[in-house]
């Protein structure tokens, strides 16, 4: 029988933190009626034969609360960047001014706000599922360790540790979702 079988909770915690970071990124890309440079981060442009993030082909600025501008460095990429923005699903109509693409952020109507809160809820649920998958992996590790000679007391201890870690991260997701939905519904 082994003396002390350890479960790698640091790895589980790191993976759960990764799910939270991913959720924050998805939330940042949701439009809330205010301009934000992070809105355009997920947009990829076909530049020089490969898909490139839009912030790597030009400077992204927020000169006004309802305006995002992208100063494209290469004139030849302006059309491709504009096309990528139109096809991104942001629902913003880009306006060209030379090499500068202006993205005016329209007011959100009530119906669109409700749709966005549902999208935010879907993102949060995906993050919860990812956290539960990490929890399942942790519980599987504990079962294997029990087969390798872990005592029942140690098993209960590690199961509690993994469950507490899961509960803490799910609570963080719920809090982030609540904040994002409040931000979206704010007029």
* pLDDT per residue as tens digits for the range 90-100: 778 899 988 89
pLDDT for 172: 95
Contact assessment for residue 92 and residue 72, using Cβ atoms and an 8 Å cutoff: no
- The arithmetic mean of pLDDT across residues 11-29, rounded, is 88
Chain-centre distance for alpha carbon 117: 15
pLDDT for 3: 46
Residues linked to residue 67 through DSSP beta bridges, in sequence order: 64, 104
State yes or no: pLDDT of 103 exceeds 80: yes
For residue 153, give Cα distances in angstroms to 4, 77, 160.
12, 63, 11
Count of alpha carbons within 13 Å of 186, Cβ hemisphere only?
11
Contact assessment for residue 173 and residue 128, using Cβ atoms and an 8 Å cutoff: yes
| Beta-carbon count within 10 A of 168 CB | 12
pLDDT for 42: 79
Model confidence pLDDT, tens digit, residues 28-71 = 777 666 777 877 887 889 888 899 988 899 999 998 888 899 99
| Beta-carbon count within 10 A of 176 CB | 18
pLDDT for 106: 77
Full-model pTM = 0.67
| Beta-carbon count within 10 A of 27 CB | 22
């Amino acid at each position: 029988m082994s003396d002390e079988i350890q479960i790698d909770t640091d790895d589980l915690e790191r993976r759960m933190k990764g799910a939270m970071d991913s959720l924050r990124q998805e939330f940042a890309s949701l439009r809330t009626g205010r301009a934000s440079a992070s809105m355009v981060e997920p947009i990829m442009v076909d530049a020089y034969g490969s898909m490139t993030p839009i912030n790597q082909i030009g400077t992204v600025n927020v000169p006004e609360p309802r305006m995002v501008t992208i100063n494209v460095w290469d004139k030849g990429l302006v059309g491709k960047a504009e096309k990528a923005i139109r096809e991104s699903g942001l629902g913003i109509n880009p306006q060209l001014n030379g090499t500068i693409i202006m993205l005016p952020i329209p007011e959100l109507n009530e119906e669109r706000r409700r749709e966005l809160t549902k999208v935010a809820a879907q993102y949060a649920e995906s993050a919860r599922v990812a956290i539960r998958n990490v929890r399942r992996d942790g519980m599987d590790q504990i079962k294997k360790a029990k087969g390798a000679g872990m005592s029942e007391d140690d098993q209960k201890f590690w199961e509690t540790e993994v469950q507490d870690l899961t509960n803490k991260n799910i609570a963080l997701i719920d809090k982030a979702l609540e904040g994002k939905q409040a931000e979206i519904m704010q007029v």
